[in-house]
Amino acid sequence: MPQMQELASMYEAIRPRYPELADQVAIVTGSSRGIGLGIALRLAREGMRVVVNSRSPEAVETAAAALRSFGATVLAVPADVGLTSEVDRLFDTTLQAFGRVDLLINNAADVRRGRFLEIDEALLDAQLAGNIRGPYVCSHRAAEIMRRAGAGNIIHISSVGGLRAHWQGLPYDLTKGAIDA
């Protein structure tokens, strides 16, 4: 995670452009660092209520505390999206806190990579769960909520790895190809 001063500078540099997003609720999986944190930062700056998520309770709380220090309304929910029970807890906790879900951004991913003959089935299983099953289960749960509300959006974050397999990019590239499909 960037240093607090750098994060604050980035937050202040964002010019809100979409007032219609104010007070809507966004779940951003994998948002304790990297691209996910950047997305959460932007949505918070637009006035959305943001659910910060990753598998690490410490990382989730650190990112959420940083966003709160800028005045954002943030809920910290550590959960492994590869497990249905944890996805259920993520959505149930969000609904208890905010009563709705307007946006789901499936960003979480296990990005470990290797050469085909060097990876084992444990890595394959972990990435199938987190990178394919997770977005599917999260999307299914979000779609049910959004259908009842009559509105909502789901965004999947992929990678150039989804376009073709790289020399040392498996099984990650395979899972991102599935997201592209």
Distance CA 95, CA 25 (A): 10
For 116-126, b/e burial (b = at least 16 CB within 10 A) is eeebeeebeeb
Task: Indicate the DSSP class of residue 15.
Answer: P
Distance CA 50, CA 27 (A): 6
Closest CA to 25 of 47, 53, 54: 47
Residue 11 is among the residues annotated as catalytic for this protein: no
- Residues whose CB is less than 8 angstroms from the CB of residue 38 and which lie 6 or more positions away in sequence, other chains included: 10
- Residues whose CB is less than 8 angstroms from the CB of residue 42 and which lie 6 or more positions away in sequence, other chains included: 14
Catalytic residue set: 172
